[in-house]
Amino acid sequence: MTAIEWPGLAPERRRQDVPVIGVVSFAHLVSHFFQLVLPPVFPWIRAEFGYSYAQLGFVMSVLFLVSGLGQAAAGFAVDRWGARRVLQLGLASLACGAAVLAGAQSYAGFVIGAALLGVGNCVFHPVDFWLLNHRVSVVRLGPAFSIHGLAGSIGWALAPPFMVALAAPFGWRTAVLVAVLLPLAAMALVLYWRDILAPEHGESSATPAADSAGSTFGFLRLPAIWLCFLFFAFVSAALGGVQSFAAVIFSGSYGLPLTTAAMSITLYMIASGAGMLTGGWWVARNPHLERNITVALMLATAAAVLIGSGQLPAMLAFSLMAVMGFGSGLSGPSRDLLIRRAAPVGATGRVYGVVYSGLDAGIAVGPLAFGRMLDRGLSAEVFFAVAACLGCAVMTTWRVAARAGGTAD
């Protein structure tokens, strides 16, 4: 199978591309929004309950731990019961989790609410990529993946101003409760477009448990799947380091005011979204997936090395965060298509569930390791470690390509 082939896609599906991409992308926006629904209102929660930041941080750890553990299981659920049903359950869990958080009167309430958010969050990657791979025309998959990724970045960007704007005049509980409207709106869209999102004959629940690798768990024996997992672990470890410590490094090592240094992360995320959008159209014209990923991530790696060198003027190093973010985002659509190529027929949900759990693994380990570097006075060197992670991701990409059958021309 080549990078641009996929069995069972009929020409008439082109007429449903726009609503499928729209519904899936909006659901992805909602999932990313809810990953940051609590941190912006931590000051208000802390003022009311007196929790330490460590306690509040543990609440977020619960969310991502549940999400990471549940993501692989969600992939199996998608292949067994269908993406639309699992998506509705995930959105309902986000709404319930937010409602529990809005009414929380104890620490246990926050932990339970975060766990429900984690259950809701875990479904989106296997669901979204199943729907995109099976409901969108092959020629539009590159742009579809880029729009999907961009929507997630928009969700991250919208959450802090949305929550703070409501919490300041009306209180944090009202802000969290109003956020429930987002998953409810997404559920309404899924219900409205249920006919094109539901399984067709021969798909999902009608599909035998075995995949083309030989059994329900046959895909787990494929080295390419675990290489994809490692790829995501490396990339997300780098992302976690940037998100967690870029502001600290630009403030401490480059002497920028903290408010300016904090904007480095915003600059990175905006550029990443622009790169992701560009990457969708790039991969549609250049189906050499591993080459695309290599060029994109090496651009990000070079920027990270230059920042870590400490030899550049502060604002030039600051501006390289945009280059780094653009390169990281540019790799996204090619990356998702490479995973698609590696997936055995009949195991799409399971593969994306397992592979994307590498994101949670990397983002859990990366900041911890980079934080220890900062504790030992290795400040700018964190960017060298970020570059090393990106370099490892590039090497893993070529191993995946070799295992998955080469590049399409």
Q: Tens place of pLDDT for every residue, the chain, 409 residues?
A: 343 344 444 455 556 788 999 999 999 999 999 988 888 888 899 899 998 877 887 888 788 888 888 887 888 888 788 889 999 999 999 999 999 999 999 999 999 999 999 999 999 988 998 899 888 888 888 888 889 988 988 888 788 888 888 998 999 999 999 999 999 999 999 999 988 887 654 454 444 344 555 566 667 777 888 888 899 889 988 887 787 678 778 888 888 887 788 788 778 888 988 998 898 888 878 878 889 999 999 999 999 999 999 889 999 999 999 999 999 999 988 888 888 777 776 666 777 778 878 877 787 677 778 877 878 888 878 899 999 999 999 999 988 888 765 443 3
Same domain, yes or no: 262 and 113: no
What pLDDT, on the 0 to 100 scale, is given for residue 206? 43
CATH no. for residue 110? Answer: 1.20.1250.20
The structural domain count of the chain equals 2
Consecutive H or E run containing 270? helix 258-285
Same domain, yes or no: 151 and 226: no
In 3D space, the residue among 329, 334, 327, 324 whose CA is nearest the CA of residue 397 turns out to be: 334
Which of these three, 192, 227, 260, is where a domain ends? 192
Query: Residue 208 domain-assigned?
Result: no
Which of these three, 137, 157, 192, is where a domain ends? 192
Same domain, yes or no: 342 and 254: yes
Same domain, yes or no: 180 and 96: yes
Query: Mutual orientation of helices 314-330 and 289-309 as an angle, nearest 10°?
Result: 160
Radius of gyration of the chain (CA): 21
Same domain, yes or no: 160 and 245: no
What pLDDT, on the 0 to 100 scale, is given for residue 76? 82
Query: Residue 187 domain-assigned?
Result: yes
Query: Residue 409 domain-assigned?
Result: no
Query: Mutual orientation of helices 124-135 and 332-342 as an angle, nearest 10°?
Result: 80
Same domain, yes or no: 264 and 349: yes
What pLDDT, on the 0 to 100 scale, is given for residue 216? 66
Query: Residue 155 domain-assigned?
Result: yes
Query: Residue 72 domain-assigned?
Result: yes
Same domain, yes or no: 235 and 269: yes
Q: What is the Cα–Cα distance from 6 to 312, expressed in whole angstroms?
A: 47
What pLDDT, on the 0 to 100 scale, is given for residue 9? 44
Same domain, yes or no: 261 and 181: no
Which of these three, 148, 177, 192, is where a domain ends? 192
Same domain, yes or no: 140 and 262: no
Same domain, yes or no: 150 and 251: no
What type of residue sits at position 166?
L
What pLDDT, on the 0 to 100 scale, is given for residue 207? 46
| Strand ranges, E, within 237-315 | none
Instruction: Taking the CA atoms of 390, 306, 280 and 3 in sequence, report the sign of the dihedral they define.
Output: negative
Give percent helix, percent strand, percent coil of the chain, each to the nearest 5.
Answer: 80, 0, 20
Same domain, yes or no: 226 and 359: yes
Pair 276, 297: CB distance under 8 Å? no
Instruction: Taking the CA atoms of 271, 272, 275 and 281 in sequence, report the sign of the dihedral they define.
Output: negative
Query: Residue 61 domain-assigned?
Result: yes
What pLDDT, on the 0 to 100 scale, is given for residue 301? 96
Domain carrying residue 74: 15-192
Query: Residue 102 domain-assigned?
Result: yes
Q: What is the Cα–Cα distance from 151 to 116, expressed in whole angstroms?
A: 22
Same domain, yes or no: 227 and 276: yes
Query: Residue 173 domain-assigned?
Result: yes
